[in-house]
Amino acid sequence: MTRNTVLYNIAFIGIGNVLQIALAVMLNEIHNKYFKKISQTLMFLPYFISAVLIGAIAFNILNYDTGVLNTIIREAGGNPLKIYSMAGIWPFIIVFCQLWQSTGYGSIVYFAAIMGIDKSMIEAAQVDGATSWQRIRFVILPNLKPTFIILFLFSLGGIM
């Protein structure tokens, strides 16, 4: 039991922080303001959904008889999966559902931190000939360190 708890929390915190930063950086690279606002809204929306509703959504997707996944498999001519009896797949489903719910909040916080980075630093990197990836790696990511520390500590506090 303790082993599972530790592994789940490592996955939630480790994968979660990496996904949050990646989504924030990708959101920063979107130049169309309308698409950027829609993306922010869609990323943040799962944060407001309760865990019970997420469980109901997972049930409706994974149900053997009426689930969306098995309906698609049946329509394609395959044999439906009895996912509820597959013990090995549940850790991945649990981690996926948790990450889906929590990633949007952190990515919006990281995105706000990216927006707070001094534009002259990014412009200086552009003038020096830095590619988009180099600007991300050498300017944006190092400036996210204080935000990363705060969100990491909040994540640790959330598992207590």
CA-angle at 104, arms to 103 and 105, nearest 5°: 95
C-alpha 142/C-alpha 96 separation (Å) is 28
The count of other CB atoms within 10 Å of the CB of residue 59 is: 12
Residue 61's contacts (CB-CB under 8 Å, 6 or more residues apart) are 67, 68, 69
Domain boundaries, the chain: 2-117+145-158
Of the pLDDT bands very low, low, confident and very high (cuts 50, 70, 90), residue 22 is very high
The identity of residue 20, as a single letter, is Q
The per-residue pLDDT for 21 is 96
Question: Is 160 a residue whose pLDDT tops 50?
Answer: no
Question: Is 132 a residue whose pLDDT tops 80?
Answer: yes
Counting residues of the chain whose pLDDT is more than 70, the rounded percentage is 98
**Assigned token pair, 61:** 């997707």
CA-based nearest residue to 151, from 102, 101, 91: 102
Mean pLDDT of 91-98: 91
C-alpha 59/C-alpha 48 separation (Å) is 19
CA-angle at 88, arms to 83 and 93, nearest 5°: 65
**Assigned token pair, 152:** 């990491």
CA-angle at 58, arms to 54 and 60, nearest 5°: 115
Q: For the domain 2-117+145-158, what is the CATH superfamily, name and number?
A: MetI-like (1.10.3720.10)
Mean pLDDT of 86-91: 88
Residue carrying structure tokens 């597959």:
86
The count of other CB atoms within 10 Å of the CB of residue 132 is: 11
The per-residue pLDDT for 77 is 92
